[in-house]
Amino acid sequence: DTLQYIEIFNRGPQPVDLSGWALTKGIKFTFPPKTALSAGAYLVVCRDVTAFSRAYGRNVPVLGNFTGKLGHSGERLELLDLEKKLVDAVKYSDQGEWPTAPDGHSPSLERISPFISGELSANWASSKMGLTERPLGTPGSGNDSFSSNLPPIIKGGAFSSPKVSQ
């Protein structure tokens, strides 16, 4: 639980001043003054900076420590700008159509496309699995399953055996 983190990605063409922005719902964190995120850059907000740096290295741009903790079975997270307007949100789960591997063991839950709503469960995947239980994911860099677009989503369907005529 001390290694929990959220990764922020600036998908836009310009730097963003995150000063005073806040992560709310489930966890709490307010970005300090003079926090900027360059275009195409990543920033990690974690629960315990010391534990995170030990596990992932010191080359990852990281802020912390957030209060609260990410629920393993699900949580709603919101990113609000300085004016308290909703910038992005997700209500993840480990039920239904959500990936179940990132349930507090090794893989992380990764957004596939930053250009598609985070509220869509099909836009989330598990990071690559390892051979042993250890911290995984790609904090501070592109996700394992990154794609600008989502593949087609197939819901429902039925399978039947072909009829064999004799």
For 9-58, how does the pLDDT look when each residue is reduced to its tens digit (9 = 90+)?
999 999 999 999 999 988 999 999 999 999 999 999 999 999 999 988 87
pTM as predicted: 0.83
Highest mean pLDDT: which range of 17-31, 47-61, 102-116, 126-140: 17-31
Q: Is the pLDDT of residue 109 over 70?
A: yes
DSSP state of 122: G
Distance between CA 125 and CA 80 in Å, rounded?
24
Q: Is the pLDDT of residue 92 over 80?
A: yes
> What pLDDT, on the 0 to 100 scale, is given for residue 146?
85
Q: What is the Cα Rg of the chain in Å?
A: 18
